[in-house]
Chain A
């Protein structure tokens, strides 16, 4: 029992010290920097994509609005043509 405890304590201590060196040392830091760089680049690419989509969506909305206006303009034209014809027909009857 005692040996197990001592060994595990010792082992833990050594692992701890080694761990600090492994996970906190220079090489590890370089790895972390690399990962973080990658993360930032990934985030940037996501944000870039989002912006491009926004710009594009804005274009689609503009087109749609233009179409709607064209639609109403067409309807207006048809209406006035219709009333003109009716007025002309009336005149002929008189």
Chain B
């Protein structure tokens, strides 16, 4: 594709493509192909002008230009790669709607003769009036009644310009709200949608890891505990408890056995399933997520609903005031002015926008917030319970030492351990698998199906012998593996801060793998900042040994910690704290954190953690940098402040207009204009960023939708891109 460089500056290039304009699909292909590149920060595609502005990292200009030069926008492969819903298309649609409204209004005011204009206005106003009357009939005192009465009053007083201005501004406000809502739901659905790339395909007696694209209808796949079911299908073997919250919203897991239907996106809480795949596409799942999000009540926040209730009770009084004013002053105009003012407007329209924008902004910081009410709870939280492994420490710790017994070969033991561990999502498992890969230890699946016992370990058989791998408690106490005194001493001498994985074959200790679980660099600072931001009570709970826990807690600066904790204990502790009246945030990443995540006021999971933790959690963070946690706390505080200021300004300003109207200082037209314009102003303000610096990007994957926005013709600040 040919292009011309219109403008270039440091890390930014503006190209004019050799086409008159781009179709929606072409613009999408351009955007999504570019944004996937590592070296690209943001992309703005101007479809109408066939121009594109790219911000890149480093010195990538030459590469980028090559990429664009070679790109074919009609390439089917690129088209197939497009996501289910194009953010650009959504923005285009709503931008068009607003542009249409503005242009029609201009035409109406400037070109059209008065009689036609009058009829036009009446026609526009009728739907509102009818809705208002219907609402009165149903005794539903909504804001629509106030709008309808304002319009009716204006029409009856033959003040057609006021009527049309009210209609115009109210329409624009509604479009803005719908737009923000749709953008938020799409963003959320996109981040909740399937991010599975590899699945375990059953071939003969064993399973092989293949990429999801290679699975066809009729293939059988294996899904183990803690993992997400990636495709729709029927169970052929196995039994499991499946959490279908992603689909139906019910938190209680459903039992699945052979011949049960299972659905993509649900998570295996306990057990294991072999599933025969039916229906490989992913589109229907997307619709399901959107549906679920829209149904869930957690989208709005508690403060918002409270405010809405208060304000809707004021509506009958507005009418009362209007009538009273009319009777006392004998002036219809003044009475009409009262009707122009509507306190609930700002709250009903601007508040949801604030909440939804905050959710989207969090998304730009790589934080997925599943509902407005969680942001609110974060701002009220005073207690944080941390899981250790994978949360305060890196999710991929490193195998430092393998101590073998009975003269067994180190590499053989490591390979066997990796073989068993790779089926289960756990950060220690990751370490073992990685170490095996690093040493180029390939293994065939020679063991039988491994079973995972939560917080304990893995059991399987090898050549007839029982193999177990797991914690000290599990292997040495539960399984009573035999170990010589000499070997016990060798193990004792392993460095204290290593987490240990004990492996026993046939009842005898075979090897102990020492894994260094270093604390994340930023952890101490994060803990300190949390305290600064209002968290009084920070606790660490881990299933790991007392020694490692003490070491890590000390480094992190956490004074209260509990070691060798079972999942139920975590949940119980959270429950107890809540009963004491505290608001608790639980942060974890593994299967063993799920009960606690559900029990907490707000459950936060690491994006790199187990699928089930991510599904159950209310918020997911990129674990690569815990800074997101601080940003979350700050954002939530600023959001609450913003909601308060919205309510206060909305009420104060409207009250002022009301008084001015009664005093005769403003005519209804001005009152209506001031009211509606201030509402829209609040909406626009609530759409701006809460935090000052733009979100830092730790990955360039699925960048948020804004990049494709040829920015709205309204003053949305550039930092929103």
* Number of residue pairs spanning A and B whose beta carbons lie under 8 angstroms apart: 48
* A61 contacts chain B at the CB level, 8 A cutoff: yes
Check A58–B14 contact: CB distance below 8 A: yes
* Other-chain residue from A46, A54, A59 in contact with B103 (beta carbon distance below 8 A): A46
Q: How far is the CB of A40 from chain B (nearest CB, A)?
A: 10
New A-B contacts (17) at CB < 8 Å, excluding given A51-B710, A66-B9 = A44-B48, A47-B48, A47-B99, A48-B48, A48-B49, A51-B46, A51-B49, A52-B46, A52-B49, A54-B46, A54-B711, A55-B46, A55-B53, A58-B14, A59-B14, A61-B718, A62-B12
Check B48–A51 contact: CB distance below 8 A: yes
User: CB-CB < 8 A to B14: which residues of A?
Assistant: 55, 58-59
Find residues 85-125 in chain B having any chain A CB closer than 8 Å to their own CB. Answer: 99-100, 103
Would you list 6 pairs from A and B whose C-beta atoms are within 8 A, ordered by A residue? Answer: A46-B103, A51-B51, A51-B710, A52-B46, A55-B49, A59-B53
User: CB-CB < 8 A to B718: which residues of A?
Assistant: 58, 61
Q: Which residue among A46, A52, A55 has the maximum number of chain B CB atoms within 10 Å of its CB?
A: A55
Find residues 272-291 in chain B having any chain A CB closer than 8 Å to their own CB. Answer: none
Check B9–A63 contact: CB distance below 8 A: yes
Complexed CA–CA distance, A47 and B12 (Å)? 24
Check A55–B51 contact: CB distance below 8 A: yes
* A18 contacts chain B at the CB level, 8 A cutoff: no
* B6 contacts chain A at the CB level, 8 A cutoff: yes
* B7 contacts chain A at the CB level, 8 A cutoff: yes
* B493 contacts chain A at the CB level, 8 A cutoff: no
Check B99–A58 contact: CB distance below 8 A: no
Closest-by-CB residue of A relative to B21 is: A48
Known: A47-B48, A52-B49, A54-B46. A62 touches B7 (CB 8 A): yes
Check A66–B103 contact: CB distance below 8 A: no
Check A62–B710 contact: CB distance below 8 A: no
Known: A46-B103, A54-B710. A59 touches B6 (CB 8 A): yes
Q: How far is the CB of A41 from chain B (nearest CB, A)?
A: 12
Complexed CA–CA distance, A58 and B718 (Å)? 9
* B10 contacts chain A at the CB level, 8 A cutoff: yes
Pairs A-B, 9 closest by C-beta atoms: A59-B7, A48-B48, A51-B48, A51-B46, A62-B9, A51-B49, A66-B9, A52-B49, A55-B51
* B713 contacts chain A at the CB level, 8 A cutoff: yes
* B224 contacts chain A at the CB level, 8 A cutoff: no
Closest-by-CB residue of A relative to B10 is: A66
* A15 contacts chain B at the CB level, 8 A cutoff: no
Complexed CA–CA distance, A54 and B48 (Å)? 12
Q: How far is the CB of A58 from chain B (nearest CB, A)?
A: 6
Find residues 669-721 in chain B having any chain A CB closer than 8 Å to their own CB. Answer: 710-711, 713, 718
Q: Report B24-57 CB contacts with A as 1/0, cut-off 8 Å.
A: 0000000000000000000010101101010000
Q: How far is the CB of B712 from chain A (nearest CB, A)?
A: 9
* Other-chain residue from A43, A55, A63 in contact with B99 (beta carbon distance below 8 A): A43
Closest-by-CB residue of A relative to B7 is: A59
Q: How far is the CB of B714 from chain A (nearest CB, A)?
A: 11
- Residues of B bordering A, CB below 8 Å: 6-7, 9-10, 12, 14, 21, 44, 46, 48-49, 51, 53, 99-100, 103, 710-711, 713, 718
User: CB-CB < 8 A to B711: which residues of A?
Assistant: 54
User: CB-CB < 8 A to B103: which residues of A?
Assistant: 43, 46
Q: How far is the CB of A68 from chain B (nearest CB, A)?
A: 12
Q: How far is the CB of B9 from chain A (nearest CB, A)?
A: 5
Find residues 19-51 in chain A having any chain B CB closer than 8 Å to their own CB. Answer: 43-44, 46-48, 50-51
Complexed CA–CA distance, A55 and B9 (Å)? 14
* Other-chain residue from A43, A46, A50, A58 in contact with B44 (beta carbon distance below 8 A): A58
User: CB-CB < 8 A to B44: which residues of A?
Assistant: 55, 58
User: CB-CB < 8 A to A47: which residues of B?
Assistant: 48, 99
Q: How far is the CB of A25 from chain B (nearest CB, A)?
A: 21
Known: A43-B100, A58-B14. A50 touches B6 (CB 8 A): no
Complexed CA–CA distance, A50 and B46 (Å)? 11
Complexed CA–CA distance, A58 and B709 (Å)? 13
Closest-by-CB residue of B relative to A52 is: B49
Complexed CA–CA distance, A51 and B44 (Å)? 11
Closest-by-CB residue of A relative to B107 is: A39
Q: How far is the CB of B473 from chain A (nearest CB, A)?
A: 58
Complexed CA–CA distance, A59 and B49 (Å)? 15
User: CB-CB < 8 A to B100: which residues of A?
Assistant: 43
Closest-by-CB residue of A relative to B20 is: A48
Complexed CA–CA distance, A58 and B6 (Å)? 12
Complexed CA–CA distance, A62 and B710 (Å)? 16
User: CB-CB < 8 A to A43: which residues of B?
Assistant: 99-100, 103
Complexed CA–CA distance, A92 and B504 (Å)? 75
Check A58–B53 contact: CB distance below 8 A: yes
Complexed CA–CA distance, A55 and B21 (Å)? 14
Closest-by-CB residue of A relative to B106 is: A46
Q: How far is the CB of A54 from chain B (nearest CB, A)?
A: 6
Complexed CA–CA distance, A46 and B713 (Å)? 12
User: CB-CB < 8 A to B7: which residues of A?
Assistant: 59, 62-63
Complexed CA–CA distance, A51 and B49 (Å)? 7
Complexed CA–CA distance, A58 and B43 (Å)? 12
Closest-by-CB residue of B relative to A48 is: B48
Complexed CA–CA distance, A58 and B10 (Å)? 14
Complexed CA–CA distance, A52 and B713 (Å)? 12
User: CB-CB < 8 A to B99: which residues of A?
Assistant: 43, 46-47
Complexed CA–CA distance, A46 and B96 (Å)? 12
Q: How far is the CB of B563 from chain A (nearest CB, A)?
A: 51
User: CB-CB < 8 A to A55: which residues of B?
Assistant: 6, 14, 44, 46, 49, 51, 53, 710
Q: How far is the CB of A61 from chain B (nearest CB, A)?
A: 7
Closest-by-CB residue of B relative to A63 is: B9
User: CB-CB < 8 A to A46: which residues of B?
Assistant: 99, 103
Complexed CA–CA distance, A52 and B710 (Å)? 10
Closest-by-CB residue of A relative to B6 is: A59
User: CB-CB < 8 A to B713: which residues of A?
Assistant: 50, 54
Q: How far is the CB of B689 from chain A (nearest CB, A)?
A: 17
Complexed CA–CA distance, A51 and B53 (Å)? 12
Complexed CA–CA distance, A51 and B713 (Å)? 9
Complexed CA–CA distance, A29 and B711 (Å)? 37
Complexed CA–CA distance, A61 and B53 (Å)? 13
User: CB-CB < 8 A to A58: which residues of B?
Assistant: 14, 44, 53, 718
Q: Which residue among A46, A52, A54 has the maximum number of chain B CB atoms within 10 Å of its CB?
A: A54
Q: How far is the CB of A53 from chain B (nearest CB, A)?
A: 10
Closest-by-CB residue of B relative to A66 is: B9
Q: How far is the CB of B110 from chain A (nearest CB, A)?
A: 13
User: CB-CB < 8 A to A62: which residues of B?
Assistant: 7, 9, 12
User: CB-CB < 8 A to A54: which residues of B?
Assistant: 46, 710-711, 713
Complexed CA–CA distance, A90 and B10 (Å)? 39
Complexed CA–CA distance, A27 and B713 (Å)? 38
Complexed CA–CA distance, A60 and B559 (Å)? 53
